[in-house]
Structure 1
Amino acid sequence: MSTREYEETAESRLTEGGRSKFDVVILDQHDTGRLPPGNYLFFGGIPLLPEADPDQEGDPQARGPVRGGPAVRQELIVDWDESHPALRYVSVERLWMFETRRLDLPDDAQVVIEGETTPVMAHLARDGRQYLILGFHLVRDLPGGMEELNTPWVERVSFPVFVYNALRFLTATSTLGARPSLEPAEAVTIPVARAGRSVEVTRPDGHTVSLDSRERTEVRFGGTAEVGLYRVRGTGPTDEAFAVNLFSERESDIRPVDRLVVGGQAAAVTVATGRVNQPLWPYLLLAAFALLFFEWYVYNRRVRV
């Protein structure tokens, strides 16, 4: 539906049981405050969140709104969180856009892709809602009613991979106890016993990570790159745990492949032989050892030469 239809449609078409009817709502170049609890993916738009209550306990900036500024042209990507599930198998170093929107984020937002002057992509989870915000849109308008791509990324293989990752990340229901195990780099939602309480996750290597719920009733943990058992403290009266393993057939298949696909094209497999230089030191070492053995033998036999 169009953005106008989204704003004017009846509430019953968008929500059911107090939540969004849709697994993910994707909004392109549209700012909106009509955000029932659910998951949202923004391209060139922002969620219009209320200002933080100054009387509420805690830092108001931590729960402030997302603000969008003027467009920044040809923003350079300088850093990104390669461990984030949305960027799995995505070549961020080749990401380029003609223009992106300047983003001013609250403290509880996680910057996923950082530009030279502004965040380019961020994740925000608050009050039963998740927002994956990209500052740039996909298509830009030209004079005369013409349109052109704002980024060549949409024509590359990594773009549908990103969309798949983003939808899977936003719709993940991997709460503790809901699934027996997770795959590496898959995010898990951890319930908090009491809003504002911190949660501690001990990784298989023994390192403990503290997660601040910031007045939320759940937190998301994405640092699951290492396989093994993760122990969680702070979810209730007893500790809980979840496992990360390589049950994925694709991750576990280490057999050499006969056909390698790179950038959508199959690379030819060739077999060739060539001459290489063989080192001589192993043979010299063997000769020295034989000489020492012969000297030891002669000495023990008391034979004069």
Structure 2
Amino acid sequence: MRNINEDTITGAVLDRLADTPDPRLKEIMSALVRHLHDFAREVKLTEHEWMQGIEFLTATGQKCDDKRQEFILLSDTLGLSMLTVALNHSKSAQATEATVFGPFHVPGAPVLSLGSDIANGAKGEPLFVNATVRGTDGKPVAGAVVDVWEADAEGFYDLQRPGLDHAEGRAVFQTDGEGRLYFKAIMPVAYPIPTDGPVGTMLEATRRHPWRPAHVHFIIQAPGYETLITHVFKDGDAYLDSDAVFGVRSSLIGDFRSQPAGVAPDGSMQAGPFHALDFDFVLEPVMQAKP
């Protein structure tokens, strides 16, 4: 097609996609083209503005490395991550809700035995977590693999510590025969997401704060159940209602109880104050395809 103009360009691009063999890819690409073109028409996008957009996306990619995922951060702060979670993880009323994955998970965290301390040098007040993992039928889920990670008392993950040669504040556990999960950690604190990249520039330009409420991350996997990616948030945190990545769910707010020095839940003596969290995770069973 020649002499394409603003009224015919969208149809021309869609025609070029007509022979896409994968129907789902064709659906996604066609919708993407339509919405992008409609967006440009709606705001009357200038060439200069689109070049600024290209430079922003380029800088976002350039900020990514094996320890930093700026595109996940961008998706999170635009609410797209949480939207896809909501679209894909509709659960029964009994099941624990999912929330955003975040940019600070890494595979291969140390596998520790129940009761171990995940801090491994990370600074923070002691936190003792006692949890159970069960199905919606109330039965305990034995042998569930639980990936846990959190920031330290200064709001930094180990990935954000230059030169650190070992994992801190992260571990993988397996529930016991009664579906129990228990370990020692550090009390989470609210922290700002990284603002030294394009996402930070966007937040500043739109007068948004970068703060996330205090939380601990969990991924729970077990055969026969949907994988659960979630957080447990600290009750009373100042940012529960303005989380920079829109990830808070009321059902995920936990009671991190402050305790004076003395006997901890694991029986150890604590010379200073500590905290305790009890939480029940309920997994959604995998739906069996009908014959």
TM-score, normalised relative to structure 2:
0.25
More strand by share: 1
| Structure (1/2) with the larger helix percentage | 2
In our comparison, the structure showing a higher alpha carbon Rg is 1
TM-score, length-scaled by structure 1: 0.24
Structure with the greater relative contact order (CA < 8 A, sep ≥ 6): 1 or 2?
2
